[in-house]
Structure 1
Amino acid sequence: MLRSYILQLLLLQIILSSNSLVWVLAAQDKEPYGIRISCGSREDVHTQPTNTLWYRDFGYTGGRFANATRPSYIIPPLNTLRYFPMSDGPENCYYINNVPNGHYEVRIFFALVADPNLDSEPIFDVSVEGTLINSLRSGWSTSDEQSFAEALIFVKDTSVSICFHSTGHGDPSILSIEVLQVDDNAYNFGPSWGKGTVLKTIKRLACGSGKPAFDEDYDGNHWGGDRFWLGTKTFSASSDKSISTENVIAEVSNSPNYYPEKLYQYAIVGTDRQPDLSFEMEVDPNKNYSIWLHFAEIDPIINIEEERVFDILINGDIVFPNIDIIRRTGEQYTALVLNTTVAVSGKTLTIMLRATNGSHALINAIEVFEIITAEMTTSIEEIKALQTLKNSLGLPLRFGWNGDPCVPQQHPWSGVDCQFDNKYSKWVIDGLGLDNQGLRGFLPSDISKLQHLQNINLSENSIKGPIPYSLGTITGLEILDLSYNQFNGSIPESLGQLTSLQILNLNGNYLSGRVPANLGGRPLHRASFNFTGNEGLCGIPGLPTCGPHLSVAAKIGVAFGSLVAFLFIVIFAACWWKRRQNILRAQKLAAAREAPYAKARTHFTCDVQMTKHHRPHDHSRNPTETPSLLS
């Protein structure tokens, strides 16, 4: 019975393991998320030979579209671009939403505007998720490698921001944007790798191949990110040579990096004249670099261990001694990838393969990445508050205010001061300097969401409306200058709660009413408050005297009493009017009822009077005759 139970458990475990394997294989077969944007295009575009889909332009914050001049044939065959004039602001971005969280290769291709009146080769910076990944250099339009910027990033909030920062040398012009998902563990270079790092692509070199190619050209797995490989036949035509094979290469296209097989079917090898190999490139000094070296023994005459052995040196230091490809892989035609991280203090990175035992060095490909610490971003709540402020104040386009206000640190928003909050590992806004900028909107109550503000200067603009009561909740505020605007209404009593306030300038507005006692009456320990130039203000020395002061409760009582009195008068007037209407109606009814009797009486009176008036005089009667009793 026990044996039967154990067999059932084993069977269950096999089934679960099989299901897990199927699930893993299904996950690997799933296509990675990817989106490609043809900048400046009003419709979707398909490009040959791979029939790649490029979506019409979307997600941008500004700029204009134009026809494109492609400086290099490796650039996607697209005909339009978007460029960002300096008049639209120094920072402009693309926001791509609904991107699943994960690991992504982001690539941006540049092009030239097909307009001779514009700068033919602009120089600008590029950032992804607030981290600076590229600074274009003069001459980029004549270099295949410099015609695009690429980095590996982690997406954590289902959106990607890609921003372009003007440096005053022409208008940034963008041909295309690609966001391509790669394996979550791709290019894991060691303990410091993770979501806090960005890998900026510096060099990808396919050795022994004479032409550049993408992973698509190499029939690579889509999880590789469609990398671009610059091809080179040799490092030095006089001292080394290229070889190739059509044999199948083992251990390729495996997770997490999914390198294509064709990458290992070409190689550069040393010669009898010069068995060593050396590659040198220019880099930025004082940076850390992740270096990936690719090998496969494809020389048919090398088929056992110790026939090819070499040391790998980087800037003179041995980082991999006694590399024997066959010993490491176990056989010919099998891929080997080595990775190391080095700190480079100078401007040159040199990779040397120094042959030993009389053999020749060999290499198939080289990858070099700059390791960048991902920038900590600004608090989302504060970014939203600044965007509300931007819209409410009608901020001119020249300010930009796109992307992250504090990062990259080389390009903060104009008029915004930032401070890093170590407690929450976020940037926060501690100052606004927008004085004399022609602002004409109103100050929104959402400004109180910038709870770290210490200094607000909005003076000498044309800002209208009341001063928000919520300003009094920014407890650390030390300077508040709203002078020479068009603020109206009363001064909020909440400003009296700002115990750190040292400078308060409200002069030159249209404010009215009594200056709150907790502002005008408290000791001002070296503080400077200015309320002048507001004709309606009163209540402190230097301003007109106010009338009888009523408390808030008294004001409410007076208002309530006035309302009751007004309602009483209205009701009384309505009742009087109603009574008057009733009297008039009654009089009309009475007059109507008496009308026939009055008419008859009038006729009788008239008849009597007329009878008297027309009776004939009896001249025959004897005046001495006594009238009869009957008469």
Structure 2
Amino acid sequence: MVISYSCSAGSKMTWILSLLFILAAATQVHGVSLPGFLSIDCGWTNGTSYDDNKNTTLTYVSDKEFVEGGKSYNIMAQYIEGATNEQEKTLRSFPDGQRNCYTLPTSIDKKYLIRATFTYGNYDGLNSSENGSLFLFGLHIGVNFWTMVNLTKWGSSNTIWKEVITIASDTNTSVCLINLGSGTPFISTLDLRKLDDAMFRFLNRSISLSYFTRKRFGSVDDLITRYPHDSVDRFWEAAKRYSFPWLNLTTAQKVNRLPGNDDFQVPSEILQKASTINRNFSWLNISVRASDNIDYRSLELLPIFHFAEIDGNSPNRTFDIYDDDNLLFSNYTPPPFRVDSTYNSSRFLRKKGVLFTLRKTASSDLPPLINAYEVYSLVRMENSTTSSDDVNHMKDIKKYYSLARNWNGDPCSPREYSWQGLSCNYANGNKIPSIISVDLSASGLIGTLHDSFMKMTSLEKLDLSQNNLTGGIPDYQLNSLRVLDLSNNQLDGPISDSVLQRFKAGQLELRLEGNPICSIVKEKYCSNKKNRTPIVLIAVLVPVVFILLVVLVCILWRLCWKGKSGEQEDYSLYEEETPLHIDIRRFTYAELKLITNNFQTIIGKGGFGTVYHGILENNDEVAVKVLVETSIAESKDFLPEVQTLSKVHHKNLVALVGYCQNKKCLALVYDFMPRGNLQQLLRGGYDNSLNWEERLHIALDAAQGLEYLHGSCTPSIVHRDVKTPNILLDKNLVAKISDFGLSRAFNAAYTHISTVAAGTLGYLDPEYHATFQLTVKTDVYSFGIVLLEIVTGQPPVFMDPQTIHLPNWVRQKIAKGSIHDVVDKKLLDQYDATHLQTVIDLAMNCLENASIDRPSMTEVVSVLKLCLPISSERQSATSTPRKKNVMDAEIPRQFQLMISGGSTTSYEGSSFQSGYTGGVSEISHISGR
């Protein structure tokens, strides 16, 4: 087996006998490789495959063909000695990247069971699972959240396993490990098992099932029953009810399925055993309960019971089945020697404790029996995948150019894990993301232009500049393309007519400067547009230089008319001669006038100056912020903003397109954010209000931007003015942090830097304001205010009826009522109460007076990800270390099963506990008088 159990001394002999039986079977069958079966030993490097003759007889293969990235490790030697199989000994770890994915071959619309196991074995020597720190990471099935892997306070030699049953939507299905900043993701094994089409008939592409618990009853020697006894290799755990009043039933007669009941195909071997209770008792209870640290309100559980009457004496056995006090099935009689699987796929249960009662009816002679049961948790497959054609084209491009990019999983979905260098459109009618921009500039591309670029039907912008591409430009028929930047390559032609015609018609911006073809072709697309204005100025001024008198006359004339006609003033004369040594575009004042249509459209105003809407030569929209100050010496914000944004690049930071350094005008040119800023949307009316999911996405976007500034920049950067007006939103509501005028670099070697307190009223960190000692936690405090604004829709300081700070208002409202009293009314109660509580708690943690008590932005990001629909599934509990190699799905190990019954005989005070010491559940009997 992949995972073994430790067992009590009394069960060792049966375990040894069982193992000998398996070994005997393995001597007859070697290397079983079944159609639709794929068994992957992650991190195994000693060959291409091997036969697991010790346990299952299945063939295991290396994971090299199914994953990119990651590092192979062996668990520590002290744990290898105790490993019961090869799969436990190796693993693959993923220290790099937020998302790393395995790609498994599947058939479209076929059903699969996918299982992953995790044995830490202290492979990295960090003792991460036992040192008390948070150690968890996420799992995605395709582009949707599946479950959490929580190894916090977990024994290093223990194993966790996760299982999902899903329908493949494509020829490949990905299983992705998500780094949440709380431990390095790793994986030990990955199994793919194709299921019969008739199984789990209620599944569809929108619904998958995550394993919760699966038990078999009766007198069972093996702790786990799996392949070859179960043809699809499910893990059935032995319930181990051997003490009074439990009674075990066994038959050698085959138990068949009822006609048409192929939903679950429970093995006959499992159905040939059952458990009941002494006939003096009338009912038994099965209690499935989530532990306190599991977000049970997000769980949607589906119980499935498997019954078969195996008493050959034609007994009269009828019972009712209850969910708590709700009758699920009445007058149920198990069919003799036939399995009947009882469930209600239209009813998923949302309860912390679910008590299932099997109670005999008044007309029944015998109490209930049960052969097996399963409980699954619903996984909603709500995120759409990118067009498979686009995905295949990008993979072809990656392969053709041998790109060393961490491109894993879906290119666009989920959007927070979109591929580097791609922009996607999430707003089309069918909700399928499409790739609209590809930026592979300076990526070391060698060879000709690959035709896959022009097969992506939604592509609008393609930047392949600063590479070593050769040849010509093929005949592309892609009407969506608006910008094709091939500058600074080695292209020597020819250029296809279709491209030239679109360029001449103004439908395509073509950039070819810096290519050999430009030595032959003298066209506008070969000119360096960035340098065109200085060339024009030189062409005009050089002749004038030779005529000194004319120059002097011109200057005097302009000075003379300066006060008379401001509109006629030539600002080009005031261009700073010494540019900033920054690798972004420098605009002249004349260019600013042109792109803003003479500063016609104002889109924002503030103490800093005025923001105008502009359109560049390539039709890209920009925002031009003209500062009040007219010199770098006067402006405290201009130079820090330019220096910061020219160095940092992140999808959640606003992009600085360029700047203007003129003695009469200082300006910054940014990407245009058509949805404005967060403050405007939160204060707007119902028509443009944000829903709960959009607010969470915006919060996560902003948090990721700050996390990048704090953790990925060297030195770290403290923004110092985090607030809703400085969180801008693009057309897809992707948030980007802006306004870095107050930002400061922060060396991690120091605990703080001393600086005059700056920021905005209501967002100011009280510790920073009192001590002038700046740390990254200053931004965390401000972000806490932003989170409360997102939840409440209220400003940071307002009248109610007297002036009150938002955190104090929230505390007062909750103290007098509940968290629901602080929620923005525009949400119309359409939100998840559990996640609301999580966000408010997170905000309050960010607002701790002492910075040391506040979380880092990495921790903030981890919490917010758990609240999003793609990761709204709950964290699993792992509070108690277990004995070695306990097979577990984390959640079920916190459950308790118990029975109770009513009888005419008193067994007062009786108490029984299972002899199974390595298992998931405790079993107790309570007298039922």
**What TM-score comes out, normalization by structure 2 length?**
0.43
Q: Which has the larger radius of gyration?
A: 1
Residue 448 of structure 1 pairs with residue 454 of structure 2 = yes
Partner of 2:150 in structure 1?
A: 137
Residue 267 of structure 1 pairs with residue 275 of structure 2 = yes
Preserved CA contact (<8 Å) 2:300 2:349? yes
Distance 1:415 1:275 in 2: 62
Aligned mate of 2:38, from 11, 35, 46:
35
Residues 280-295 of structure 1: pairs in structure 2 closer than 5 A: 280-282=288-290, 285-286=297-298, 288-295=300-307
Partner of 2:215 in structure 1?
A: 205
Letter in 1 for 2:39: R
SS in 1 for 2:200: coil
1:358-377 deviations in Å (ceiling 9; x for gaps): 86443322112234454543
For the structure 1 residues 116 and 177, does the alpha-carbon distance in structure 2 shift closer, same or farther, using more than 3 Å as the test? closer
1:257-282 deviations in Å (ceiling 9; x for gaps): 33123323132548857734132133
Deviates more, 1:106-115 or 1:407-416: 407-416
Distance 2:429 2:144 in 1: 21
Preserved CA contact (<8 Å) 1:40 1:80? no
Distance 2:429 2:70 in 1: 37
Distance 1:51 1:198 in 2: 29
Distance 2:484 2:355 in 1: 56
> Between the two proteins, what is the percent identity of the paired residues?
19
Preserved CA contact (<8 Å) 1:72 1:142? no
Deviates more, 1:413-422 or 1:401-410: 413-422
Preserved CA contact (<8 Å) 1:165 1:411? no
Deviation at 1:177, TM superposition (A): 2.5
Distance 1:394 1:50 in 2: 39
1:92-114 deviations in Å (ceiling 9; x for gaps): 33344487984332222222255
Distance 1:271 1:432 in 2: 71
For the structure 1 residues 497 and 65, does the alpha-carbon distance in structure 2 shift closer, same or farther, using more than 3 Å as the test? farther
Distance 2:249 2:105 in 1: 44
SS in 2 for 1:168: coil
Preserved CA contact (<8 Å) 1:82 1:175? yes
RCO greater where, 1 or 2, for CA within 8 Å and sep 6 or more?
Answer: 2
Partner of 1:605 in structure 2?
A: none
SS in 1 for 2:115: strand
Aligned mate of 2:339, from 330, 335, 338:
335
For the structure 1 residues 140 and 412, does the alpha-carbon distance in structure 2 shift closer, same or farther, using more than 3 Å as the test? farther
Aligned mate of 2:52, from 46, 53, 56:
46
Aligned mate of 2:177, from 147, 151, 164:
164
Letter in 1 for 2:617: F
Preserved CA contact (<8 Å) 1:431 1:454? yes
Partner of 1:463 in structure 2?
A: 467
Partner of 1:185 in structure 2?
A: 198
SS in 2 for 1:439: coil
SS in 1 for 2:389: helix
Aligned mate of 2:118, from 110, 114, 129:
110
Aligned mate of 1:229, from 228, 232, 236:
236
Preserved CA contact (<8 Å) 1:123 1:136? yes
Aligned mate of 1:427, from 422, 433, 444:
433
User: How many corresponding residue pairs?
Assistant: 474
**What TM-score comes out, normalization by structure 1 length?**
0.61
Partner of 2:74 in structure 1?
A: 67
RMSD, aligned α-carbons: 4.9
Distance 1:317 1:418 in 2: 48
Distance 2:373 2:80 in 1: 25
Preserved CA contact (<8 Å) 1:448 1:471? no
Deviation at 1:338, TM superposition (A): 0.6
Preserved CA contact (<8 Å) 2:141 2:174? yes
For the structure 1 residues 187 and 128, does the alpha-carbon distance in structure 2 shift closer, same or farther, using more than 3 Å as the test? same
What stretches of structure 1 of length at least 5 have no aligned partner?
1-29, 532-631
1:281-318 deviations in Å (ceiling 9; x for gaps): 33754455443111233568x8443x4422332x6532
SS in 2 for 1:448: helix
Distance 2:483 2:81 in 1: 54
What stretches of structure 2 of length at least 5 have no aligned partner?
1-32, 130-134, 530-593, 598-613, 620-929
1:63-101 deviations in Å (ceiling 9; x for gaps): 3322246799998542543414333x4433334448798
For the structure 1 residues 65 and 298, does the alpha-carbon distance in structure 2 shift closer, same or farther, using more than 3 Å as the test? same
Letter in 2 for 1:257: F
Partner of 1:174 in structure 2?
A: 187
For the structure 1 residues 281 and 406, does the alpha-carbon distance in structure 2 shift closer, same or farther, using more than 3 Å as the test? farther
1:586-631 deviations in Å (ceiling 9; x for gaps): xxxxxxxxxxxxxxxxxxxxxxxxxxxxxxxxxxxxxxxxxxxxxx
Preserved CA contact (<8 Å) 1:245 1:298? yes
For the structure 1 residues 495 and 507, does the alpha-carbon distance in structure 2 shift closer, same or farther, using more than 3 Å as the test? same
Letter in 2 for 1:215: R
Distance 2:472 2:358 in 1: 69
Distance 1:465 1:156 in 2: 36
Preserved CA contact (<8 Å) 1:379 1:428? yes
Distance 2:156 2:213 in 1: 13
Deviation at 1:228, TM superposition (A): 0.2
Letter in 2 for 1:322: N
Letter in 1 for 2:328: V
Deviation at 1:383, TM superposition (A): 1.5
SS in 2 for 1:147: strand
Letter in 2 for 1:291: P
Preserved CA contact (<8 Å) 1:233 1:241? no
Preserved CA contact (<8 Å) 1:471 1:495? no
